[in-house]
Amino acid sequence: MLAKIPYPNKCYLPFILYPPSMHRNLEGSEFMRHLDLDKKVDNFSLYISIPFCRVRCKGCPYFVSFLKDDDKTDKEDRYVNALIKDIQRWSRLKRWSAAKLRSIYIGGGTGSILKTENLRKIIDAVFENYNVADDYELTLEGNARDFDDDKIDFVTHSKINRVSLGVQSFQSEILEVVGSPHAANDSIRVIKKLQEKGLHNIQMDLMFNMPGHTMEIWKKDLQILSELNIPHFTIYLYRIHTNTPQDLLIKKGKVSQPASPESPMVKEMYRTVKEIAEKAGYKMYMVDHFCKPGYENKYNHWNWNIDVDTIGIGPGSYSYFSEYRMGTENDVQKYIEAVDKDEFLISTISIKLSERMCRERYLVFALLYYKIEYEFYFNKFGTHFYEDFSDEIARLTNKGLIEVHPTHIQLTQLGLEWHINVILEFFNDEFWGDTATLNQPHWSLNGIGAEVGAHAREYWLGQKDQVWFDDIHHIFSPEQEKLTAFAAA
């Protein structure tokens, strides 16, 4: 019997930013008048961007600016001073004056790259100016090489209660190929020292299917992961982003092309990590995120599973509130100058989302947790999920991608395998075929989302209720292989 597959092309993204369509804000700081800043909300999250790195990883799409060890221009101090002013300005807006700040994420770039004194100033500014919840989560993201003994001592005695390390791999030969600044010995050293000093809420990123990756190397990484006994880790399929140094090296034949995501080795890598994680007491509580009980990522939970306001402060960050998605471009000097002029630097914006689009946005993110609960949806929007999206539910059910229960829908195993395509079922028709957004400036992963949305709906999802047979329809066309490579970090 011929096996059926649900869609013509599989989308390999770690997540989707919604809406993907953004355009240049021509109103500058005056755009703030369109936002409902007098409306008070109950909860929100805060993202603080530290837009600096010591080196650029060869495949990284997030890179903003170098910060040299001998910072003769005082770039770091000037940026931190501007950032603190901006933190204070956002806090004075009525919308969040009485709201609980539930989660804070210091990322980048490289959050840990700052001098200890500057990290202290930023954290003090947050707690002095916002109503931080008692059960807050404050994550510092970074590179183990930044954590000398002084910084480790500060972190473990500060209000930081979670550390995220981009380990990628513990094998030096693989780290060298991808140009990672992380070193295996440094990562192990820092994790153990943080644990010794009482900070156990540590998460780390691991990548698989990097150039030259093998099952033997992958199993070594997973063995070290098990021995370190950290409570949370995330896996990412290595992706080649267009025009990054790694992309150019591959095109020149100096670095091998990663294996196809559908190759037996890559599928075995994914099966192996899930099996080892389950035996070690981890649960994959959201797509590609594993944790031990009680260590779920609260920042993701509040932003994606609950869908609260998000304030993004600093170059390369994104905010979402008042039905708008807004981005701050990654020009550090321009950001400093805007703050000095008491202007909010809002560089790109989405359209104002309709009620339908707001519901779609919630579903896009909540489905990363595998299910949609009817009662939560009704309490949030005042309508019934199964009425608002009856066509999508029927289509996903017919394809065997979801199970419908009395209180919720849940992804099936097939739905998990095609989870991004399932999410794309909830894209608004207005965002398909949007080639204009490709010509807008992008940073972080927004360019990838724009690339996905530039296709017609049928490219990813086919005709409604259509299925394919895996030995008749080749699901990886040359165009798809190119996009997979582009979208693949």
Domain CATH for 102? 3.80.30.20
Tens-level pLDDT at each residue, the chain (489 residues): 567 899 999 998 877 889 989 999 999 999 999 999 999 999 999 999 999 987 766 666 666 677 777 777 899 999 999 999 999 999 999 999 999 999 999 998 899 999 999 999 999 999 999 999 999 999 999 999 999 999 999 999 999 999 999 899 998 888 877 766 556 789 999 999 999 999 999 999 999 998 888 999 999 999 999 999 999 999 999 877 676 767 677 777 767 788 888 899 999 999 999 999 999 999 999 999 999 999 999 999 999 999 999 999 999 999 999 999 999 999 999 999 999 999 999 999 999 999 999 999 999 999 999 999 999 999 999 999 999 999 999 999 999 999 999 999 999 999 999 999 999 999 999 999 999 999 988 877 788 888 899 999 999 999 987 877 765 444 444 444 444 443 343
Residue 349 carries which side chain, given as an amino acid letter?
I
**Per residue in 126-162, pLDDT tens?**
999 999 999 999 999 999 999 999 999 999 999 999 9
Structural domains of the chain, count: 2
Residue 157 placed within a domain = yes
Residue 338 placed within a domain = no
- 393, 296: one domain: no
- 32, 8: one domain: no
β partners of residue 107: 49
CA-based max dimension of the chain: 69
- 363, 446: one domain: yes
For residue 384, the domain's CATH number is 1.10.10.920
Handedness of CA 136, 142, 148, 150 (dihedral sign): negative
Residue 346 placed within a domain = no
Measured CA distances, 240 to 35, 133, 251, 274 (Å): 37, 39, 11, 24
d(CA 176, CA 183): 9
Domain boundary (289, 306, 323) is at 306
Residue 328 placed within a domain = no
- 31, 132: one domain: yes
- 69, 169: one domain: yes
Residue 311 placed within a domain = no
- 182, 215: one domain: yes
d(CA 105, CA 210): 27
- 79, 122: one domain: yes
Domain containing residue 420: 4-15+355-487
- 282, 379: one domain: no
- 240, 266: one domain: yes
- 282, 389: one domain: no
CA 393 to chain centre: 26
Contact (Cβ atoms closer than 8 angstroms) between residue 246 and residue 255: yes
**Per residue in 283-341, pLDDT tens?**
999 999 999 999 999 999 999 999 999 999 999 999 999 999 999 999 999 999 999 99
Residue 468 placed within a domain = yes
- 297, 406: one domain: no
- 68, 207: one domain: yes
Residue 175 placed within a domain = yes
Residue 454 placed within a domain = yes
